Structure 1
Amino acid sequence: MAGYTVIRSLSQTIKQILNHAEYPISVNGAQQIRRLQEKADQFLEYLIEFGVEGSRLERRIRDAANEAEDVIEHWMHEHIRSTAAGLAPDVEYDFGELNMAMEEIYSLDQEVDEHIQQEMAKLYARPRPRPRRVVMLQPSPTPTPAVDSFTAVGLEEQVDKLRDELCGISIGMTTLAITGMGGSPEESVKHFVSTNLAFATAIKSNGKVKSCSIHDLLRDLFKRKALYENYERRISNSHLDLREVARGYASTMRTIISFQRNESSLRGLRKFKLLRVLDLVDTDAYSLPASVFDLFHLRYLAFGCPMEVPSSISRLQNLRSLIIRPSKRSRKYRYNSRDEVYLPLEIWMMPLLTHLVSFFDLLPNPERAASALKELHTLSVVTKLICTEEMMELICNVEKLSITYFGDRYQQDYQLHNLALLSQLEKLTLVVKEGSHLLQTKAKPVFPERLKKLTLSGWRFPWEDMKAIADLPYLEVLKLRDHAFQGHTWETDSEEDEERLFDSLKYLLIEESDIEKWEAEKRHFRGLERLVFKGCANLSQIPKYMRYIHGLQLIEVDRANLTLLECFRQMQVTRNDMWVKVLIIREL
């Protein structure tokens, strides 16, 4: 619901301005903003219980909340800008603007109360329900002529049935269940039943949806609805110069995704004072315009690499997500891993930073002035991370960590045993490129107990070192890529007869390995659901008992090992004949 989303956003903005000492608000101003907070909370309750999306009252609430939030965010932006310039902001003027927005908020009070009373009266006057009769409608196999003033393709017979049920005499209450796909983010339907409207485009290793798309019909519907309700506050710019866009949208725009190659086109950014999301990944700019760092309300910033990251990025105190990806410019050639682009030391001065995805950058070594990034949950694709105790304390709450090392460049101790200090870590990726033999003797990781997903690539550990992973009690996903382990035989035999290894593991991937034989005890891998083998041309067998693992649903093998693929297919027939859960064998 658009109104609900806007009111929530307003409430969060109010809390931000009230809870930070950097905004010196007068006593009267603070009282006024608190009254606005109370009204916002009341409107939230109303919209949850009685609000009708798209109704006149809901639209008025949304527009009034948008206006109030714009005024508050303008004041916050001007205050920060003026303070940086050594000037005092015009507080009285800005609160005068807020007074005008508040008048509309208060005018809605009475209408909201009246609507609540009306709905409550209907609720109490509603008659007690009588026994219900259920009628299920199914698509007609043979289309018949259209009914009355509209066409229901393939459902004409059912429409007649529906009309009879609605217009006929009924003693009790009747429930009509109508299923199927709706037809037209007008033609007959042919698919700061078999076609779904939403569908998955990528699946995680645990079987859950990783990303999804929506049907074109739904996208067009959402887009028309957003324009109708005046809720379009974003723009994807591939043609227009931002300076031209700013003339009509700068005061309300919240999101910009720019594909402009011309760096000069980005100069108009300074006019978008209330911007929250800025994506410049596919521009050809070599540096961010200085105006970007005046966007105080920015929550999400993405840009292309290689690009200079100045120390002034720390001025974006509300930034939650910083994404540095390869741009189109860098994709034209193979990026040289020896080219280093450093993040500034000031990255440690951004307390609200939650997601830092840096494909080629090096995280700077902290100094005494650095403070812990307690909100940081994702630190991804960072290189040369030396896991000192101090560093682990600064990223103590990280939940997802991805590190790449270049073994022929950095011949030092990375202190990976300190990874165990990350008590909140659930997903870990450790990749070694170039010269992994130099690292395997110097960098023995110790994994935190809470780990659920582990990806290792290029390490060339001996299979005996797998014991440190086998004991992880919550590990569900294990991906071994590019000779993560080397050796001809992997044995998971344990000294203790009752010991259960890989007890929670559901997904196992072995990719590019010289493994020839895999041996395990029956009490191991009992929760396994999916097995994937890629580039394992020498593997001749896996533990025979695995065909009896009840939860095993899918085995995938590429054409590098057709013998193993045929072995699995025979195992599939045997297993399915034994009334065990159906096993699917898939050729990659």
Structure 2
Amino acid sequence: MGVVSLSYLALPCNLKPCFLYLGMFPEDFEIPVERLILLWIAEGFIQKKPRISLEETAMEYLEDLIARNLITIDKVSATGRIKTCRVHDFILDFCRDKTSKYLCYRIREKDEKIYGASVSKLQRIRRVSISSKFVIRFLSSQPDGPHVRSFLHSSREEIILLPENVSAIPDAFKLLRVLDVRAITFTRFPFYLTQLVHLRYIALSSDFKVLPEAISKLWNIQTIIVFTSSRILEIKADILKMIYLRHLETNASIILRKKGESGNGESIQVLANLSPESCTGDLFGRTNNLKKLGIRGRLTILLDDMSGSSPFDNLEKLHQLENLKLLNDVHIHPDEAKLPCLPPPNKFPPQLISLTLSYTLLEWEQMSVLGMLDHLRVLKLKNSAFQGERWEAVDGGFRQLEVFQIQYTDLVVWKASRHHFPKLQHLKLRNCEELEALPFGLAKISSLQVIDLYRTTKSATASARKIQNKIESRGGRLKLSIFPIDE
């Protein structure tokens, strides 16, 4: 009996289906951990525990499989969170061999001649994974999978599914729970898919601008992921009535049309990316378990306090929120894009750990507001989030900050000491092409472990080397990463 077989037999019952599910992914595939966790939840693999979310339990399962050397960590965030993972080919082969008879059926790029055989084999299969550009031919062959619960498709090429082919999916797989076809572009909303009333997870790409009320027919839905070429995605369904919805994500700005007169959003963990107009007190009052929120659009609307209070004040209701992204839309109204100031610290969600700002065009003096956020550990300033040639950090702030990223800025002079970032571990500077030097006071921060520089000036690179030398002269260690490599 092989090593993998012995490892599999030693797995507790709750981990075995999670492990075998890895066979659904292509060889040498970088598996996004968030995606894997959402798929496990939709499949019903994750057992509910008291006082802990399904997502947290799923992460425990993943870490257990990693500890048993059945999954390999691929990419890790600056905070140590696992972003992507991989599975060795021999482990994938074991998973596929174990599930090939009844559970999973894979169609690969090289399997051009499988269609006749695949149609008959689907009669006893529960999951189908296609990593092939021939998915249109497969769907056109009138497949019949009466027991299929999951349909996953991946391809290196963009595939457009015409409306006449969409009906093949619900016709073939009436009991589908998971539909991940993000590699396929739908030219308009696929109404036929709303027939899949057992669906818990849907991920797709599209050109449409509206998610119609018909999506609410998917009353079991937990995860909705839509990648669209449109800047906005209007959702006409009442998401608060979708009682199992946990994760709603799109790259566009979500406009919610329904006011949520009934129902609540207690299951919702992730909303990305909500438009500023949709950030109402009623919505946030009923999504009190929200942990991750992205807001995309004209952020000046969010901060408008002409009536004595601003829509941003509604974020105070989000007592569980840990991750907030504020993405300003500077393309439609560039003259109105600049934010005059930030709200006071007490208006931010009280348990906020991670904050990302993009295109907010704030003055560096406003950094003192962010410095007063008690629990902030991760701060990412992207795409001219702050502007101005000079920034002098002030005392008393950023007491918990561990990860700090600045990307695309016109900053020239940065003054700071060890007292300004006492717990900083990871500093990342990307495209800071005017910055003359890093503050030498960073060398006195005992917790500093990593500095990443990407396209910075030679003088900034030289100052980083001086910081590294100073730390190492005291017996410490600092990992310094520089791109392009300074010759």
Q: Match for 1:242: what amino acid?
A: L
Cα displacement (A) at 1:370: 4.4
| Residue 493 (str. 1) matches residue 394 (str. 2) | yes
Q: Match for 2:243: what amino acid?
A: P
Q: Match for 1:569: what amino acid?
A: R
Count the aligned residue pairs.
383
Cα displacement (A) at 1:447: 1.6
**Which structure dedicates a bigger proportion of its chain to strand?**
2
Residue 139 of structure 2: which of 231, 242, 252 is its match? 242
Corresponding residue number in structure 1 for 2:61: none
TM-score by length of 1: 0.59
Corresponding residue number in structure 1 for 2:463: 567
| Residue 546 (str. 1) matches residue 442 (str. 2) | yes
Residues 469-508 of structure 1 deviation map (CA, whole Å, 9 limit, x = unaligned): 11222211100112212223323323xxxx4x21221111
| Residue 266 (str. 1) matches residue 166 (str. 2) | yes
Corresponding residue number in structure 2 for 1:460: 361
8 Å contact from structure 1 (residues 412, 442) kept in 2: no
Q: 1:406 to 1:347 in 2, by over 3 A?
A: same
| Residue 367 (str. 1) matches residue 259 (str. 2) | yes
Corresponding residue number in structure 2 for 1:504: 400
**Which structure dedicates a bigger proportion of its chain to helix?**
1
Distance in structure 2 (CA, Å) of the matches to 1:374 and 1:296: 21
Q: 1:522 to 1:252 in 2, by over 3 A?
A: closer
Cα displacement (A) at 1:314: 0.8
More divergent stretch after superposition (208-217 vs 387-396): 387-396
Q: Match for 2:449: what amino acid?
A: Q
3-state SS in 2 of match to 1:505:
coil
More divergent stretch after superposition (523-532 vs 434-443): 434-443
Residue 86 of structure 2: which of 213, 217, 222 is its match? 213
Q: 1:241 to 1:480 in 2, by over 3 A?
A: same
Residue 324 of structure 1: which of 223, 226, 233 is its match? 226
Q: 1:229 to 1:285 in 2, by over 3 A?
A: closer
Q: 1:585 to 1:574 in 2, by over 3 A?
A: same
Q: What is the root-mean-square deviation of aligned Cα atoms in Å?
A: 3.1
Distance in structure 2 (CA, Å) of the matches to 1:410 and 1:574: 44
Distance in structure 2 (CA, Å) of the matches to 1:242 and 1:449: 49
Distance in structure 1 (CA, Å) of the matches to 2:421 and 2:303: 36
Distance in structure 1 (CA, Å) of the matches to 2:380 and 2:253: 24
Distance in structure 1 (CA, Å) of the matches to 2:259 and 2:191: 26
Larger radius of gyration, structure 1 or 2?
1
Q: Which has the higher contact order (CA 8 A, sep 6+)?
A: 2
Distance in structure 2 (CA, Å) of the matches to 1:443 and 1:490: 16
Corresponding residue number in structure 2 for 1:402: 294
More divergent stretch after superposition (366-375 vs 418-427): 366-375
Cα displacement (A) at 1:251: 2.5
Q: Match for 2:393: what amino acid?
A: T
Q: Match for 2:359: what amino acid?
A: G
More divergent stretch after superposition (227-236 vs 271-280): 227-236
Q: 1:365 to 1:441 in 2, by over 3 A?
A: farther
Q: Match for 2:202: what amino acid?
A: L
Q: Match for 2:170: what amino acid?
A: R
Distance in structure 2 (CA, Å) of the matches to 1:290 and 1:540: 56
Distance in structure 1 (CA, Å) of the matches to 2:245 and 2:169: 22
8 Å contact from structure 2 (residues 328, 359) kept in 1: yes
Where does 1:181-192 land on structure 2 (aligned, <5 Å)? Answer: none
TM-score by length of 2: 0.71
3-state SS in 2 of match to 1:224:
helix
8 Å contact from structure 2 (residues 178, 200) kept in 1: yes
| Residue 202 (str. 1) matches residue 75 (str. 2) | yes
3-state SS in 1 of match to 2:466:
helix
Residues 236-256 of structure 1 deviation map (CA, whole Å, 9 limit, x = unaligned): 344343364632x22344334
8 Å contact from structure 2 (residues 341, 366) kept in 1: no
